[in-house]
Amino acid sequence: MKKKAVFYHAGCPVCVSAEQSVLAALDRNRFDVEVVHLGTAKGRVSEAEKLGIKSVPALSLDSQIFHINFGANLSDLK
């Protein structure tokens, strides 16, 4: 069974770079990948917040959160 990887971003240049490199490097045979644009999917900002996400881009791997570089604060996306 595949694990879940969720990439949260806001369309910023730092986010795009992380998506194109880090997310693209994940092993898709082991991870189901979902990409969430918090700028458009405003309803999921609270989900990200509950997961412990402080800024984007962030990657949730099997519910563990990794902030990758810094694009924008989550609080600026509300």
Identified binder of a copy of itself from the candidate list 34, 42, 46, 66, rule CB under 8 A: 66
Q: Are 4 and 36 in contact (CB under 8 A)?
A: no
Side chain identity at residue 65, one-letter code: I
For residue 12, state whether it binds a copy of itself (rule: CB under 8 A). no
Q: Cis omega (within 30 of 0) on the bond before 57?
A: yes
User: Which CB atom, from 41 or from 65, has the smaller least distance to a copy of itself?
Assistant: 65
Choose between 54 and 78: whose C-beta lies nearer to a copy of itself. 54
Amino acid at 26: L
State in angstroms the smallest separation of the CB of 21 from a copy of itself. Answer: 5
- What does the alpha-carbon distance between residue 63 and residue 17 come to, in Å, rounded to a whole number? 22
Q: Which residues contribute to the site for a copy of itself (CB under 8 A)? A: 5, 17-18, 21-22, 25-31, 59, 61-62, 64, 66-70
